[in-house]
Every structure is written in structure tokens, then in C-alpha cells.
Amino acid sequence: MNDNSKGKAPSRRQFLSGAAAIGVGAVGAGTARAAGPDPLITQVQEWAQATGEGVDATPYGLPIEFEKDVVRRNVEWLTADTISSINFTPIHALDGTITPQGCAFERHHSGAIELSKSDYRLMINGLVDTPLVFTYEDLERFPRENRIYFCECAANTGMEWAGAQLNGAQFTHGMIHNMEYSGVPLRTLLEEAGVKPEGKWVYVEGADASSNGRSIPLEKAMDDVLVAFKANGEALRKEHGYPVRLVVPGWEGNMWVKWLRRVEITEMAIESREETSKYTDTLEDGTSRKWTWVMDAKSVVTSPSPQAPITHGPGPLVITGLAWSGRGAITGVDVSVDGGKNWLPARLAAPGTDKALTRFYLDHNWDGSEMLLQARAKDSSGYVQPSKAQLREVRGENSIYHNNCIQTWWIKENGEAENVEVS
Amino acid sequence: MSKYRKLLAASALGASLAVPAYAEKLGLGRPALPEEIAAWDLDVAPDGTGLPEGSGDVFAGEEVFAEYCAICHGDFAEGVDNWPKLAGGDGTLADKDPLKTVGSYWPYLSTVWDYVNRSMPFGNAQSLEPDEVYAMVAYILYSNDIVDDEFTLSHKNFLDVEMPNAEGFIVDDREATEAHFWTEEPCMTDCKESVEITMRAAVLDVTPDEGKAEDVEPQPAVQAAVEVEEVAEDTAALDPEMIESGKKVFKKCKACHQVGEGAKHRTGPALNGIIGANAGAVDGFKYSKAMKAASDGGLVWTDAEMAAFLAKPKAYMKGTRMSFAGLKKSEDIAAVIVYLKSFGS
């Protein structure tokens, strides 16, 4: 195999800077003897002598400067303008399952608007006994729930249909975040208005110019949909729909309407722009699937990966990643180091929960040879994450959305990684 | 007060459950007023529910479109840069690169009306009157060859319009067509004989650089041959029929170009005397870099050069600002050139 990666690729650059930062002493890590005393230990360091910053230096804290590379990133050529665009969560650099709001991916159709709580209104209308208007304060007086759910854009991994394209887990799988939401079940608000028997759907829309209207079957709306105003314990961020967004567990992110302003009970689907011209999946013969709401089981190794190469040489290696399913809980993840010939069950950091991210680990002893790393998720419905070939066989290459194929990272002998496709 | 007590009692009973339980409505919020519902309930369903009364024709739509939409979607809805193309793509859905437009893909006309009315123009949403929306939608239909240029769209004939891809959609069938993905116990050992790398992302190299300033945009290169040709022009003997049919073709150009007495620059330059003139040389018009380069290179708008340009402007001159897909029929090109010659050459 050709080992000559292009100097321009981010993996290469990050690999070099990462290696330099860790230093020569790291190469023979583990039981190897130190060549000499480590000055970081033998010499009194500045931070051990002088004092640090006082409290209130940053009233709302930000990550320390050493972590400044762990940020959302955009792929400029994907869209015409950042106002109607998407960026990606740095999943390659995160651990655990909760995504901090500040680096959780953004997707806007007409920009992130600023809507204050005092200007906020939510209307319930259509086929209800009493059309209602709620203020933000009203919402906070309803009985509340806390739930952890993943939100994945239907287009996550969408650039990979025709082949390996973007070199990094952030770019191939970063249209996802996982937060703990506090909010009111939509069911509670609908019952407050009284749904008429002929009501079969809810049409939800946002306050921004795009409105991003979507139709949701009443059954789902009455099941687990939340009208959320807090995420990870604090107010939603502007870019995630402050002050109120919809949470539609397990279903494609486009339905999680931000700046939620109206819920209309209807007899039929409205067939808005976002559920006809977009978020429909064209098959090989030119017909298109619509109403493909649920996100199928999926997983990805987040480290090592192109943006998170191995810098420590052979020996103990933590292989880790994320798995999730919109159809239920993750029941297991298998990892392959040989491109899918053989699989090993990974260790789940905690038992999978319904429609939320699950962290997995494979504690591996790397012999320093090349690996073709893959992960394969299984969920509580019995679904097993398919290969790209299996998906293409049914759907062709033009679906754009709902690509939940098994991802392969080619780990080279020097620890660098590259996004590849394998036979 | 009684309501409050009941809630407390219900909560106490359900205290061990994760889901809050309560007996009845809380009486929060207030009834929505009819004016408020009318202001926000704008959506239009496929059966026309929600459409206001009104009408607009293709010609009116062309003007509104040129004013509000063409900057992103192109004068003929063909799309500028990465902005959505609204026209074309007929019959491409099974191709390697399908072109999904209102004409080739959108199953319901209501969606077009609803989206234009609710969310367009980009940056000034909800500023259009219903008649303007009808006109604009009529123009988009015309751009897709779904209606002719005499067409008027109204709330009365709205449901009569047949969208070409109306039958092109099926409801999510993954649980049937992908039933084999529910395998429960997948293969764990010796699952394949060999594994080869078949494609690499580094070969494509389209991943953004991290922490680097934006890439420098490549300057558009003039692809056109810029050789000067001397062509004898016989302006005296222009075919009146050709001029007449060229005048009709020129309707497609009128959104951006004026010609004749008192013609002024609009989005494009005034075109009096353009045939036989040096390219990029009309006084007082700001040309693209590409057109200026062609001008410096000595390009002259001979019949042949103009014909090549009009057939596919962007292919002929990469970087031109003329956002026009091109004239498909050679007789239209010939006619419009004769028409332009009738204003001097």
C-alpha cells in the first residue's frame, strides 16, 4: 500500500504538530527508561511558583487556549453562503457522550436569529378545541422532563455516498450532537389546547425567515417529542434555537425546529419545502423516498482517525468511538482492525440508552502494523449497521441523506489515518 | 385553586414515575385571536388549503423574479454559483448527478407557493403580495416549460397545474426493502477472504485545511478563443421576418438588456451596435474580469462569436456575469443576432 500521504492533508499536519508537542521522550513510552531526568519534574516551573488567574477572570468560562483547535468547522464548498449552511462537531477530539453546546454543530436555513424570551410566543392552532398562545414564562410552568437524545442531520455522512471524500471524523460524521434537554412534552401542550379527533399531523415551524416547517405524525408528537428550553443544564444557545426548540428523538435533525413558534394540528402533511425538495432520498431508478424520518443505527471510530492520529507508537492503544440509533438503544458495537474480516466486541462505557449516543472502547495492544479500522453498531430492534456496499445495493449513490454505512479508517504504520473505502 | 390542589395530588401519586403526571389542563396560556392566527398560519397544503385569493401571469412574474430572485437563482431560474437551480433537470433523476429543480423534482405546486410566500426573497422574507407570489410561481413554471408564456396562475386554476414529478415519490420503505439489515447476529470471524483499499480521501483532497485562512479563489480563466475576424456585414439586407422572430427571442434578454432608442444599461449593458463591436467596450458598463480580459485580447462580437456566446455563455466565457443558461435553438440565436443588427452594427 502507498504510504505517501499528501502534505496538504490536515491529518498530516496535525500528526506532525501533535508529535512535536509530545516530544521525543514519548516514543519509547511505557516501561522504557528515561534518558535523563525530566526538567518538567526536576526544575521548579513558573506555574508552581507564581499565582494563577483569580475567580471572575472569565465570568462565563471558555476552554483553555491549548484546546483552541477543538471547534466546529465548516466545509466552504458545500454551500453557497454560511447563512444557509452547516458546520461540524469536533467529535474526533471529544470523549464521553454529552456534546458541549459551544462546539455542537449548527445548521441554519436563514441564519441564527436573536429572539429574546420576552419576545417569544408559541401558538398552537388548527384542529384544536382552543387555539392557544403561550409565552416563555407559561412554558416554564408546565411539568417538565429531562432527557438525553442525539440530534443528527439527515445529511450526516452524505458526502461519502460516491466514495471516500472528507478526511476526518468531524467532517464525515460531525453533523451530530447529544445533549440533555429540559422541557415540556409536546403532548402536554397539545392536550392543553385539546386535539380534535380529525387531527392526524402536527405542522411545526420556527420564527426565523426560513420557518423550516415540517409535518410530524400526531402519534410521534404525542409520544416523546419535547418542547425544550434548556440543554446540558443551561439555556439553549442562539445557534440551537434559543429560547425554545423542538426535540424529536431519533428522527432527522431537520425536524428539530429551532425558535419554535407554531404547532398546527392538520389532517394531512403540509409537504413543505423541507419535506419534498429536500430531505427526500432519491434512489437509483430516480424515484425518491419521502418521510424517511428515523435515523438508522450508526457508529464511527472517533480516535484514532485522520484528525486524531496515533502519536505514541506501538503498545496500548485506546480505540474509541460513538454509536447511536433512532430506533432504540445501542446493544453492542463490534470493532474490526482488518477491514471487516474479523470483529471484536467493544466495551460500552455505559449501557446504551434510547435514542442517545453511546461511547464504546476497544482497549487494544497495537503491534505497529497497518490497520483498517471499522465499527459496526447493533440496536435494540435487531438492526445491524450495514456496509456502504449493502446500502448502495438498495439505494444507489444519490440518496444524499441517511448514509449510515460502516466507516473505514486506514491507520498507517506511522500512526497517521486516512478515510478510505475497502472492498 | 382547586385545579392546583388536583395537580398536587396527581403529582404525589405519580412521584415515583419519571414522567410527570397530572389530571387535567393547567389553564396556562391564552386563547389565540383570529388576527394572530391569520398572521402566522400561512402554510399551504397540497390540496390548496391556505391559498389566498389572487393571480399573476408569467410576464409580471418575470419582472418580479428579475428584481428579487435573479441575483441568486439566475434570470432564468438556472441558479448562480451554489444557489439553488429552480429550472431544468428534466429527466435527470436517475442520472449520476441528478438536477433537482421545481420542474424536475418538486411534487407539489403548493410547496413552491408556500415557500416563496413564507421565506423568499432571501433576506426580505414575507415582503411579497399574494399577486406577486402567484406571478413569480407562474414564471418559475414557465422557466420549467410547464406552462406557456401566456399563462396566468390564480387560486382558481392552482390545482390544475400538473407537476412532472408528482408521482415520483414513495413513502419510506426501509423496513421492507432493507429488512435484511435486521440480522441480529452478524458475522464475527473470517467474514471476507480479502480486503483491498478501493478509494482514498487524500487523493481527492477536498477536506478543509484546519486553522488556515480561506483559500485564495482562483481567477476565472478566459477559455474563449479571441481571434479577430473581419466579417462583411450586410446591414441593409436584414430579413424582416428574422427581425420579428428575433424580437420575440429577445424577451428572454430583456430582464437585463435594453436595445433601441434610449436604451440604458441595466444588469447587462445596452446593446445598440453590439454586433461587430469590440467585446467589453460599451461605455459606462462595469464588466466582469473575464469580459475585460477578452476585450483586452481583442475579441470582436462577430456573428460567429456572438452565436457561440449565446449558445452557452458560461461555457464560452468562464467568469462572465451574464447569468443566462443559453439559447438552445440555433434559429433563435440567428434571429436574435439579426434583431440586434437592426439597431446598428
Write down the ipTM of this complex.
Answer: 0.90
Q: Specify if A379 maps to a domain.
A: yes
Q: Do B26 and A192 touch (CB under 8 A)?
A: yes
Q: In this predicted structure, what is the pLDDT of residue B256?
A: 66
Q: What is the pTM of this model?
A: 0.78
A220 near A355, Cβ under 8 Å? no
**Which of B106, B195, B211 lies closest to A339 in CB terms?**
B195
Judgement on whether residues A344 and A375 belong to the same structural domain of the protein: yes
Looking at the fold, whether A285 and A302 belong to one and the same domain comes out as: no
Q: Do A188 and A226 fall within a single domain? A: yes
A127: in domain? yes
* Same domain? A125 vs A220: yes
Last residue of a domain, one of A272, A289, A306: A289
Q: What is the pLDDT of residue A30?
A: 53
How close does chain B come to A47, measured CA to CA in Å? 28
- When pLDDT is averaged across residues B136-158 and rounded to a whole number, the result is 96
Residues 289-318 of B with CB under 8 A from A: none
Which residue ranges form the domains of chain B, and what is each CATH number? 2-35 (no CATH), 55-160 (1.10.760.10), 235-341 (1.10.760.10)
Backbone angles phi, psi at A89, to 5 degrees: -70, 135
A386 touches B: beta carbon within 8 Å: yes
Nearest CA in chain B to A190: B25
**R_g of chain B, CA atoms, integer Å:** 29
Report residue B220 as a C-alpha cell: 476565472
Query: B 98-137 residues with CB below 8 A of A?
Result: 98, 100, 102, 105-108, 110-111, 114-115, 118-119, 122-123, 125-126
Quote the Cα angle for A54-A57-A63, to 5°.
Answer: 110
CA dihedral B288, B290, B291, B295 (to 10 degrees): 130
Whole-number mean pLDDT of chain B? Answer: 83
Beta-carbon separation of B210 and A306 below 8 A: no
More confident site: B288 or B78 = B78
Asked if residue A220 belongs to a domain, the reply is: yes
In a domain, A327, yes or no: yes
Q: Which residue has the cell 435594453?
A: B258
B302 neighbors B231 (Cβ within 8 angstroms): yes
For residue A160, report the phi and psi dihedrals to the nearest 5 degrees. Answer: -100, 5
Of A141, A286, A420, the CB nearest to B201: A420
| pLDDT confidence of residue B219 | 33
Which ranges constitute the DSSP H helices of chain B? 2-13, 34-40, 58-68, 70-73, 109-119, 130-143, 174-177, 201-204, 240-249, 289-296, 303-311, 313-316, 330-341
d(CA A287, CA B105): 10
Task: Provide the angle, in degrees to the nearest 10, between the axes of the packed helices B130-143 and B109-119.
Answer: 130
Q: Are the CB atoms for A209 and A258 separated by under 8 Å? A: no
**Given A271, A289, A307, which residue is the final one in a domain?**
A289
Beta bridge partners of A203: A215, A264
Pick from A124, A165, A422: which is nearest to B197 by CB?
A: A422
- Per-residue pLDDT tens for B35-64? 999 999 999 999 999 999 999 999 999 999
pLDDT at B290: 85
Sequential pLDDT tens for chain A (423 residues): 344 433 344 444 444 444 444 444 444 445 678 899 999 999 999 999 999 999 999 999 999 999 999 999 999 888 888 888 999 999 999 999 999 999 999 999 999 999 999 999 999 999 999 999 999 999 999 999 999 999 999 999 999 999 999 999 999 999 999 999 999 999 999 999 999 999 999 999 999 999 999 999 999 999 999 999 999 999 999 999 999 999 999 999 999 999 999 999 999 999 999 999 999 999 999 999 999 999 999 999 999 999 999 999 999 999 999 999 999 999 999 999 999 999 999 999 999 999 999 999 999 999 999 999 999 999 999 999 999 999 999 999 999 999 999 999 999 999 999 999 999
pLDDT of residue A18: 42
Q: Which residues on A lie below 8 Å from B189 (Cβ)?
A: 342-343
pLDDT of residue B269: 87
DSSP labels, A364-402: EEE-SS-EEEEEEEEETTS-BPPPHHHHHHHH-S---S-
Q: State the CATH number of the domain containing residue A230.
A: 3.90.420.10
Tell me the pLDDT band of B255, cut-offs 50, 70 and 90: low
Rounded Cα–Cα distance for residues A15 and A36 (Å): 26
b/e sequence A358-377, b meaning 16+ C-beta within 10 Å: bbbbbebebeeeebbbbbbb
CA–CA gap between residue A316 and residue A404 (Å, rounded) = 29
In this prediction, residue B320 has a pLDDT band, given cuts at 50, 70 and 90, of confident
Stretch B202-207: mean pLDDT, rounded? 81
Average pLDDT estimate for B306-312: 90
Same domain? A203 vs A319: no
Instruction: Sort out which chain A residues have CB atoms less than 8 A from B37's CB and list them.
Output: 123, 125, 131
* pLDDT for the residue numbered B224: 30
Nearest to B250 by CA among B144, B327, B147, B150: B327
Task: Look at residue A7 in the predicted model and tell me its pLDDT.
Answer: 37
What's residue B328's pLDDT?
78
Judge if A407 and A374 occupy the same domain: yes
Residue B319: predicted pLDDT: 75
Please tell me whether residues A227 and A168 are part of one structural domain.
yes
Is B37–A125 a contact, with Cβ atoms under 8 angstroms apart?
Answer: yes
Per the domain annotation, does A10 fall within a domain?
A: no
Q: Which residues on A lie below 8 Å from B32 (Cβ)?
A: 123-125, 131-133
> A384: distance to nearest CA of chain B, Å?
6
* CB contact A217 to B (< 8 Å): no
Q: What distance in Å separates the CA atoms of residue A71 and residue A91, rounded to the nearest whole number?
A: 10
Contact B109, B99 (CB under 8 A): no
B139 contacts B39 by C-beta, under 8 angstroms: no
> Choosing among B199, B214, B216, which should be mutated to test the A contact, i.e. which has the most A CBs within 10 A?
B199
Q: In the listed set A289, A312, A336, which residue is the last one of a domain according to the structure? A: A289
Q: Are residues A280 and A371 in the same domain?
A: no
| Interface probe, candidates B207, B216, B217, B323, chain A, greatest A C-beta count within 10 A | B207
Render the burial of A61-98: b for 16+ CB within 10 Å, e for the rest. Answer: eeeeeeeeebbbbbbeebebeeebbbbbbbbbbbeebb
* pLDDT tens for each residue of B80-95: 888 899 999 999 999 9
Locate the DSSP E strands across B172-218.
Answer: 197-200
Interchain CB distance below 8 Å, B28 and A138:
yes
Q: Domain of A364: which CATH number?
A: 2.60.40.650
What's the pLDDT tens digit per position in A124-135?
A: 999 999 999 999
Provide the pLDDT confidence category of residue B184 given band limits of 50, 70 and 90.
Answer: confident
Q: What is the pLDDT of residue B288?
A: 79
User: Of A133, A226, A410, A412, which to mutate for an interface test with B (greatest number of B Cβ within 10 Å)?
Assistant: A133
Same domain, residue pair A284 and A323? no
Domain membership of residue A176 (yes or no) is yes
Measuring CA to CA, how many Å separate B127 from each of B64, B67, B120, B133?
Answer: 12, 13, 8, 10
Q: Identify which of B22, B180, B190 has the shortest CB distance to residue A143.
A: B22
Residues A227 and A312 in one domain: no
CB of B14 within 8 Å of a chain A CB? The answer is: no
Give the DSSP letter string of B69-137: THHHH-TTS---TTSPP-S--TT-TTSSS----TTTT---HHHHHHHHHHH-STTSTT-S-HHHHHHHH
Positive or negative torsion for Cα B225, B229, B232, B236 = positive
Tell me the shortest Cα–Cα distance from A9 to chain B, in angstroms.
Answer: 7
A167 closest CB neighbour out of B93, B97, B201:
B201
Domain count, chain A: 2
Quote the domain boundaries for residue A315: 298-420
Confidence grade of residue B239 (pLDDT, cut at 50, 70, 90): confident
Residues A259 and A405 in one domain: no
Kindly report, residue by residue over B156-176, the tens digit of the pLDDT.
999 999 999 999 999 999 999
Residue A211 lies in a domain: yes
pLDDT for the residue numbered A2:
41
Residue A21: inside a domain: no
B204: contact with A, CB 8 A cutoff = yes
Tell me, yes or no, whether A179 and A245 share the same domain.
yes
Q: For chain A, positions 109-168, list CB contacts with chain B under 8 A.
A: 109-110, 123-126, 130-135, 138, 141-145, 163-168
A342 and B CB contact within 8 Å = yes
